[in-house]
Amino acid sequence: MEENRKLYVFGASGHGKAVTELVLNTNCKIEALIDDAPKSDNLGYIPIVNATGIVKPAPDVALIIAIGNNLTRKNISLRFSDYNFFSSIHQTAFVSPSATVGFGSVIMLRAIINADAKIGNHVIINTAAIIEHECCIDDFVHISPNVTLSGNVSIGLGSHLGAGVIVIPGIKIGKWCTVGAGTVVINDIPDRATVVGNPGKIIKYNNLVETAAKNEKILKKNKVIKINSGNLKFKTY
């Protein structure tokens, strides 16, 4: 995360607006919002352009994908793999010096990432979520507002935890799972399961089809943020 960096934000819907405000909070300059089907020409003073207009990356401009749906975000990251991806951490968030944050990820207002937690690439840690010590969050996960992950929880690729989910310590949640709003998770969850309720129970499985991942090129040129080795400034509250 570098201040005054120029970037595009992909996605002009609700999450796009929240990410735009997050990025402006870090003093970066947004050149434009990009959308596949823009509904207006601008968001305040920031132009909104059709995605077909910007297929070639400018060397000094990075991209942040502000799409809440995990599979869509993954597919867009593959489509725009020539870009450098950008991560952004709100100044009111707390990220432990021993935690790491991957590229393309956003840590929203008042989120807490505690000691030794690992946040992957293109992850959303939404408003006021708590990620306790040693949690491991894989790529393309979305942790919704007010989620509480106790220590040592792991979340697999592409999973979505709805608002207010609570997970007890040491639980493993698989890939492409959905955990309904308000669920209390007390057992491990297998891949692709949807779990709701207190205590959380499986109600169904999904058959989401992933595009073949060709992530090597993206991984090579984007770097994980080591919070304690950069010059980031974080405020607690």
| Binding residue ranges for acetyl-CoA | 142
Residues making up the annotated binding site are 13-15, 68, 142
DSSP-derived pairing of the beta strands 201-205 and 193-196: antiparallel
Beta strands in 18-93 (DSSP E): 29-35, 42-43, 46-50, 61-65, 88-89
| Choices 76-84, 99-107, 176-184, 221-229; region in contact with ligand COA by CB under 6 A | 176-184
**Residue from 162, 174, 176, 227 binding ligand COA (CB under 6 A):** 162
Which residues fall within 8 angstroms of residue 136, CB to CB, at 6 or more apart?
Answer: 117, 118, 153, 154, 155
**Residue from 88, 126, 148, 159 binding ligand COA (CB under 6 A):** 126
199 forms part of the interface with ligand COA (CB under 6 A): no
**Residue from 38, 57, 182, 190 binding ligand COA (CB under 6 A):** 182
163 forms part of the interface with ligand COA (CB under 6 A): yes
The gap between the terminal CA atoms of the chain, to the nearest Å, is: 21
203 forms part of the interface with ligand COA (CB under 6 A): yes
| Choices 53-61, 110-118, 149-157, 174-182; region in contact with ligand COA by CB under 6 A | 174-182
Q: What angle do CA 47, 48, 53 make, to 5 degrees?
A: 110
**Residue from 81, 180, 205, 224 binding ligand COA (CB under 6 A):** 180
CB 119 within 8 A of CB 102: yes
Q: Residue 35 region, left (φ>0) first, then alpha (ψ -120 to 50), else beta? A: beta
**Residue from 26, 77, 121, 144 binding ligand COA (CB under 6 A):** 144
CB 110 within 8 A of CB 237: yes
148 forms part of the interface with ligand COA (CB under 6 A): no
CB 19 within 8 A of CB 12: no
Residue closer to ligand COA by CB (options 5, 122) is: 122
Count of residues of this chain found to bind ligand COA when the rule CB under 6 A is applied? 13
Residue closer to ligand COA by CB (options 18, 43) is: 18
Which residues fall within 8 angstroms of residue 41, CB to CB, at 6 or more apart?
Answer: 47, 48
Residue closer to ligand COA by CB (options 58, 203) is: 203
Catalytic residues, which ones?
Answer: 133
Q: Rounded to an integer, what is the distance from CA 72 to the centroid of its chain? A: 12
Residue closer to ligand COA by CB (options 62, 161) is: 161
Residue closer to ligand COA by CB (options 109, 181) is: 181
197 forms part of the interface with ligand COA (CB under 6 A): yes
State the residues that interact with ligand COA by CB under 6 A.
126, 144-145, 162-163, 178, 180-182, 194, 196-197, 203
